[in-house]
Amino acid sequence: MGKIYNVILESNVGTGAGNYGRTYYIDWSILPQGAYKVSFNFNSAVVITVNNIIANIFCDLGQGQNTIIASGQTGSVYRQNYLGTLFWTGTGANNALYAHITSNPPIYLTQRPMNNTVFIEIHTNSAPFETNYAGPDVGQYTMVLSFELIN
């Protein structure tokens, strides 16, 4: 196992109109140059909602167009920057979103991220995967991106 670097993103620090789309500034030069295996965890505050909308999270870390989303028709749908799915926990209308570090498969980067402005998007699972998860908002959250240096 390589050295691990954790980057913490808190929704109350990021900027944006809603927690479903927050922008953060990260100085990636603190990470050594190299290839990385990236995993994440996510925890939101309790929000009042129903469990009938799936939340998917997207973030541009330089992984490129390496995610293929199956289509109901011939051909595939490509959507860049997919990280994974968020899950519900709670009872009744009081729920929270979460993802453990092992809830989703990791992504791999050939080099450390280069874009210092990072945009976290949380969308529904409706094609073309651009509908903001706003029904209602995801609530305040903390997300940890875990970068494991693999070479």
* pLDDT digit string (tens) for the chain, length 151 residues: 789 999 999 999 999 988 889 999 999 999 999 999 999 999 998 876 656 778 889 998 977 666 666 666 666 566 678 899 998 888 767 788 899 999 999 999 999 999 999 999 988 777 667 667 766 668 899 999 999 999 8
pTM above 0.85, yes or no: yes
Pairing of strands 94-99, 15-18: unpaired
| Structural fold of domain 4-149 | Jelly Rolls (2.60.120)
